[in-house]
Amino acid sequence: MFFNKYFKNRRQGKGLEIEEMTNFGENSPREEMLISEPLDNFGFRFFRFAAILVFAALASRVFYLQVVKGDYYNRIARENRVRAIVIKAPRGIIYDRNGKELVRNVPSFDVIFVPADFPKDSLQKDKEIKAVAEILKMNDQNVAAITNSQDEDSLNPVLVKSNISEEEALVFSEKKSDFEGFQLEKTAVRQYENGAVFSPVIGYTGKINPGELESNSDYLLTDYIGKMGLEESYEKYLRGINGKQKVEVDSAGNIKKNLGTENPINGNDLYLGLDAGLQEKIEESLQNMFSQTETKTAAAVAVNPKNGEVLALVSLPGFDNNLFSQGIKPEDYNMLLNDEEKPMFNRAISGEYPPGSTLKPLVAAAALQEKIISSDTSIDCGGGIRIGSYNFPDWKTHGGSTDVRKAIAESCDVFFYSIGGGWQNIPALGIDRMKKYANLFGLGKVLGIDIPGESSGLMPDKSWKENKIGERWYLGDDYHSAIGQGFDTATPLQLANYIAAIANGGTVYRPHLASYVKKNDGTKENIDPEALNSKFISASNISVVKEGMRQTILSGTAQSLKELPVEVAGKTGTAQFGSENKTHGWFVSFAPYDDPEIAIAVLVEGGGEGHSTAVPVTKEVYDWYFGERNSGE
């Protein structure tokens, strides 16, 4: 309406009627000029101005996008077609003290899924999923579950199947052009030497899980990570730094151009104080003992008294850690979990057992230091002690007067009842002081060995019993603790380490498996010895205890070791457990007597008396260690 009115007024303003406009007769010059002038001159100027404004706006936008933001959008465009393909870094190697490889890296292939490369067409998706599932011998529903649970625009690779077979890798490689979202990734898996023997020490690696990824943000879901043992505790050293291959890809993710490579950096190598030969010999000797008895479980730990290095750490039965590193099958995993003998339980550091008479050297040292007794104090070791209606029997009648050396050698219970809880003219050491010295020797608390899973054991006291059991502490509890029974528990590692402290004159070291890290630049990072406690027992009192342990071999409960070519000192132990009067067999020892270089604790679970099970194992080990090992046989 506005334009109709406007044009009407315009015509009237020019003095022309419609009839005049359609009159093709003779016209005056002014009339011809008026007829030739555009009727909507102002309207055309308006629309022309609007068009110029629109064009200017578009031009400025183009200028902004191409000039002002050009670098930004160019970078995005390049990122959409430039990928960084991860080159997995080899993991560091683990060696024993003599340079023997305990683990190596074996080339392997994984199949991974990159969501951003997956086709958008549902039919093509299903086709790829079924083809990949067939090659990998997987259920296509499982493959579909992996693809469907990802952000479709993500470039982060997701694991489909690890450590695929050579046949699967060849078939996949031949058909890789058919797959837009799936790729073959080169990697490596760990191959462990004699896995069942070394698994309690080395542990194993496995693919990182989502929970672990949350606390390790610099990992990919396709990465391996240490899961147990040294592989876990030294992860930051053993893990390398992945490299990158920068490539240009097309819309389907196919590589079109190589843009350069950043080489990976290998993980650092780890050298142990552990002696692989000793580890294997202890395992062999314990297996031989199993064949002679009905026992099936055992543990042993050997420590260097001079610095706390762990020379061997055995837990039986063990498990083959190669099952985990190469992708364990569900049926194998369930078999391990349901095994009554618990092969994945590290008895050497996690098993808590009554120490029995192996605790007597510690109690003797404490009593000497607290002046409860002297080296010359003698006690009549009859058949037991009777307090009112309670009888505390000895394991045998030793006869005659017994000093502390003989009491250790012959394992006289009456002597240790007397100094633990008091009897006749012998004052009581008491549970508080027994616990104090047990803690100083490293019992009743975690020592801090450099693999996870260590247990603390237990040295009880009055408040513990009241809170845990709901009963007061009795004299009989002092008696039982003094001979390593009652509520006392310790790990094989703790007993070996405390005996090592006796051997070296009274210094308790933190036990450690690693000796040093060899870095890629050739430098070493040493794991220095760390003394936890020292000088809490005088040298003279330590000497008395060591003399008693030497007499154990010469005239006491382990005389079979007199035949060895090296002088040994030790202490047997027979520890009751459960309600069926079953006993564990213990033997703790060190050698050579004058200059100790090894201390060993051997436990045979349910093995009866220590002198009949643990002592023969120790003898066989020492015979090899100081004989065949040095002769190179």
Domain boundary among 250, 270, 290: 270
Which tokens go with 94?
A: 């683990």
Range of the domain at 166: 83-270
- The whole-chain average pLDDT of the chain stands at 87
Q: Which pLDDT tens digit goes with each residue over 330-355?
A: 899 999 999 999 999 999 999 999 99
Domain assignment present for residue 12? The answer is no
Of 391 and 357, more confident: 357
C-alpha–C-alpha distance, residues 173 and 598, integer Å? 54
User: Chain centroid to CA 218: how far?
Assistant: 18
Q: Is the pLDDT of residue 585 over 80?
A: yes
Q: Quick check: 345 and 402 in contact, CB under 8 A?
A: no
Q: For residues 204 and 93, state if they share a domain.
A: yes
State the average pLDDT over residues 117-145.
90
Same domain, 263 and 288: no
Residue 613 in this model has a pLDDT that exceeds 80: yes
Instruction: Confirm if 202 and 94 have CB atoms less than 8 A apart.
Output: yes
Q: Decide if 23 is inside a domain.
A: no
The residues carrying an active-site annotation are 357
**pLDDT higher than threshold 80 for residue 630:** no
- In order of 233, 272, 309, 497, the CA distances from 93 in angstroms are 14, 11, 19, 27
| pLDDT for the residue numbered 579 | 60
Q: Two tokens at 72?
A: 């930004």
Residue 29: pLDDT over 90: no
Q: Are residues 188 and 316 in the same domain?
A: no
Question: In the listed set 215, 245, 270, which residue is the last one of a domain according to the structure?
Answer: 270
Element (H, E) at 543: helix 539-554
Regarding whether 332 and 211 lie in a shared domain, the answer is no
Sheet holding 298-303, edge to edge: 310-316, 298-303, 598-604, 582-591, 569-577
242 and 280: one domain? Answer: no
Q: Does residue 20 register a pLDDT over 60?
A: no
Average pLDDT over residues 381-400: 83
For residues 617-630, average pLDDT: 92
Please indicate whether residue 241 or residue 571 has the higher confidence score (pLDDT).
Answer: 571
Q: Which pLDDT does position 606 carry in this prediction? A: 87
**Residue scoring higher pLDDT (276 or 124):** 276
594: confidence class by pLDDT, cuts 50, 70, 90: very high
CATH number at residue 244: 3.90.1310.10
Given a contact cutoff of 8 angstroms between Cβ atoms, the answer to whether 385 and 418 are in contact is yes
pLDDT on residue 178: 86
Q: Looking at the structure, do residues 248 and 167 belong to the same domain, yes or no?
A: yes
The predicted structure's pLDDT at residue 351: 97
Query: Would 544 be classed as within a structural domain?
Result: yes
> 464 with 518, same domain?
yes
Do the domain assignments include residue 458? yes
Structure confidence by residue, pLDDT tens digits, 529-563: 999 999 999 999 999 999 999 999 999 999 999 99
pLDDT of residue 304: 98
Q: Are residues 253 and 285 in the same domain?
A: no
Half-sphere exposure of 202 (CA within 13 A, CB side): 32
* Residue 487 scores a pLDDT above 90: yes
Whether 532 and 466 map to the same domain: the answer is: yes
220 confidence band (pLDDT: 50, 70, 90): confident
**d(C-alpha 476, C-alpha 421), whole Å:** 8
**306 and 237 in a common domain:** no
What are the residues whose beta carbons fall under 8 Å from the beta carbon of 268, sequence distance 6 or more? 92, 237, 238, 517, 518, 519, 520
Q: What is the pLDDT of residues 433-470, one digit of tens each?
A: 999 999 999 999 999 999 999 999 999 999 999 999 99
Q: Is residue 571 part of a domain?
A: yes
Q: Are residues 288 and 253 in the same domain?
A: no
In a domain, 206, yes or no: yes
| 499 in Cβ contact with 599 (< 8 Å) | yes
Whether 5 shows a pLDDT value over 80: the answer reads: no
pLDDT at 217: 87
According to DSSP, the residues that pair with 573 across neighbouring strands are 586
> Is residue 78 situated within a structural domain?
no
| 574-597 residues labelled b (16+ CB within 10 A) or e (exposed) | bbebeeeeebbbbbbbbbbbeebe
CATH code where residue 442 lies: 3.40.710.10
Side-chain half-sphere CA neighbours of 316 within 13 A: 24
330: which 2 tokens?
A: 């569900």
- Enter the pTM of the model: 0.83
Task: Give the number of domains in the chain.
Answer: 2
282 with 158, same domain?
no
pLDDT at res. 260: 76
Residue of 70 and 515 predicted with greater confidence: 515
Averaged pLDDT for residues 374-390: 89
Residue 62 included in any domain: no
List the Cα angle 76/81/82 in 5-degree steps. Answer: 90
Which of 221, 248, 270 terminates a domain? The answer is 270
